[in-house]
Structure 1
Amino acid sequence: MGILSRTSYIIKSKVNSILNRAEDPTDTLDYSYEQMRDQLQQVKRGIADLTTQKKRLEMQKRRLEENVDKHNQQARTAVEQDREDLARKALEKKKAKMNQIEELERQISNLQNQQDQLVEQKDTLQTRIEEFRTKKETMKARYSAAEASTTVNEAMTATGEEFEDVGRAIERAEEQTQDMEARSAAMDELRETGAFDEVLTDKDQIDRELDQLSTDSGVEAELETLKSEVGDESAADESTSESDATTEEVDADVEAELSEIQEEEG
């Protein structure tokens, strides 16, 4: 299984696990994106490790090449000094080192191929991650917009229901107010008609009528008394007036007689 396949499998497993927990889809997208980035970092570390191994083999190859040159020079020097035995040994070492170099070259070539493949996969994965990031942000924006719209719609629905409740409350308040006003008006009417007095006393209708008759009789009697007193006062005034008139007449006669006597004496 390749790096991308393993990465895709792991990401799908993580995504499915998160979805099964019914988490926020935006969290799922962010988590998936972070997982892909982690996988990308792992691929980069893998490339770095592979490159390090390749560099080590290349360094080892250069040392072997230096030994080959050294053994080649040794063989030449030995031949110049007629030491074929030493020249043969030097050439044998040279041959062994060259075989090692060939093996290292194959390993380096394989590592290079793997490195090239990993770099290509890394670039592909990075491109997919960027595409996923764009889709993720777009999806998150859409989800946020849908969530906001849903929230607004739910709020409007709730508000509509609340308005209905308020309307019903207002109707009930209006009915209660009208009942209270009617009750107050009825109380005023009962108070004006004396109904409250009837409630506050133990007298029945007959008692109240008898009391009224007694009150009327008392008023009439008092009225007659006042009329009699006023009549007596008027009669007394007339008698006094007549007495005063008689006295004046007597006085006038006396004055007249006095006048006559005075004339006779004079």
Structure 2
Amino acid sequence: MGIFSRLSDIINSNLNSLLDRAENPEKMIRLIIQEMEETLVEVRSSSARVIADKKDAQRRLSRLQAEVTEWQGKARLALEKDREDLARAALAEKQSIEEEVAVVTQEFNALDDHLLHLSDEISQLQQKLNDAKAKQKTLMMRQTSVTNRQKVRGQLNREQLQDAFDKFERYEQRIDGMESQLEADELGRDPKQGLKTEIESLAQDDSVSEELAQLKAELQAGSDKS
């Protein structure tokens, strides 16, 4: 089923309104253009037939007008020969042909009017088709722009994500390096020796404390004597 039911639907159509209501504007504009092109072919074919009929009417009209002139001449000749009866008959034949001329002339004028109407419709239809193709081009450019923007955005997101991964990897490497350094510093150390040193240090602290207390007592005693 077509989008348009008749030629006037196309000429009076509002492309923007049709596309705004469409679920798939790209598909809709393709269908509209296809139907417009098919209709344009049909209208041009009709115009070709009308042109042919008009030419045929023109030929018949020319032939009939020539016959009118011929019978007019025969009537004149008959009167010149004093044959009024023949002149009367010739004029009657002339009038009969003139009636046919009037009919053919009316047919010719009707065809001419129809052809002018078809020409106007073709002009309007061609303009609508041009508008539709321009609209299609705009839609395609917008679609291409959106697609490119999506690609760029996706690329940026991937780059940002990769940058985050790189930073995390560098942080892990730094931590690994620090841990490795600590482990290297501990290499060759005897855990028992460390414990012994720590206990001896505590004993040394006690010795220093006792000597310090003794010195303080001596100083205090000297102060009391004075």
The residue aligned with 1:152 is: 152
The residue aligned with 1:125 is: 125
CA shift for structure 1 position 121: 1.9
Q: Choose 1 or 2 for highest CA Rg.
A: 1
Work out the CA distance in 2 between the residues paired with 1:156 and 1:97.
87
CA shift for structure 1 position 57: 0.3
Aligned length: 183
Moved over 6 A (4+): 9-12
The residue aligned with 2:67 is: 67
Residue pair 1:76, 1:87 contacting (<8 A) in 2 also: yes
Work out the CA distance in 1 between the residues paired with 2:148 and 2:129.
28
The residue aligned with 1:52 is: 52
Letter in 2 for 1:104: V
The residue aligned with 1:4 is: 7
The residue aligned with 1:174 is: 173
Where in structure 2 are the equivalents of 1:44-123 lying within 5 Å? Answer: 44-123=44-123
Work out the CA distance in 2 between the residues paired with 1:80 and 1:92.
17
Report Cα offsets for 1:157-201 as digits up to 9, x if no partner: 233344445555x26963995699489859x948x97xxxxxxxx
Residue pair 1:47, 1:115 contacting (<8 A) in 2 also: yes
Work out the CA distance in 2 between the residues paired with 1:40 and 1:94.
44
CA shift for structure 1 position 89: 3.3
Classify 1:107/1:64 alpha carbon distance in 2 versus 1 (closer, same or farther; 3 Å): same
Work out the CA distance in 1 between the residues paired with 2:5 and 2:103.
26
The structure showing larger relative contact order (alpha-carbon pairs under 8 Å, at least 6 residues apart) is: 2
Letter in 2 for 1:174: Q
Work out the CA distance in 2 between the residues paired with 1:88 and 1:3.
54
RMSD of equivalent CA atoms: 4.0
Length-normalised TM-score, structure 1: 0.52
Work out the CA distance in 2 between the residues paired with 1:9 and 1:112.
24
Q: Secondary structure at the match of 1:158?
A: helix
User: Unmatched 5+ residue regions in structure 2?
Assistant: 191-226
Classify 1:116/1:8 alpha carbon distance in 2 versus 1 (closer, same or farther; 3 Å): closer
Where in structure 2 are the equivalents of 1:24-35 lying within 5 Å? Answer: 25=26, 29=29, 32-33=32-33, 35=35
Classify 1:42/1:10 alpha carbon distance in 2 versus 1 (closer, same or farther; 3 Å): farther
Residue pair 2:11, 2:125 contacting (<8 A) in 1 also: no
Identity %: 19
The residue aligned with 2:213 is: none
Classify 1:172/1:8 alpha carbon distance in 2 versus 1 (closer, same or farther; 3 Å): farther
Residue pair 1:79, 1:87 contacting (<8 A) in 2 also: yes
CA shift for structure 1 position 65: 0.6
CA shift for structure 1 position 103: 0.8
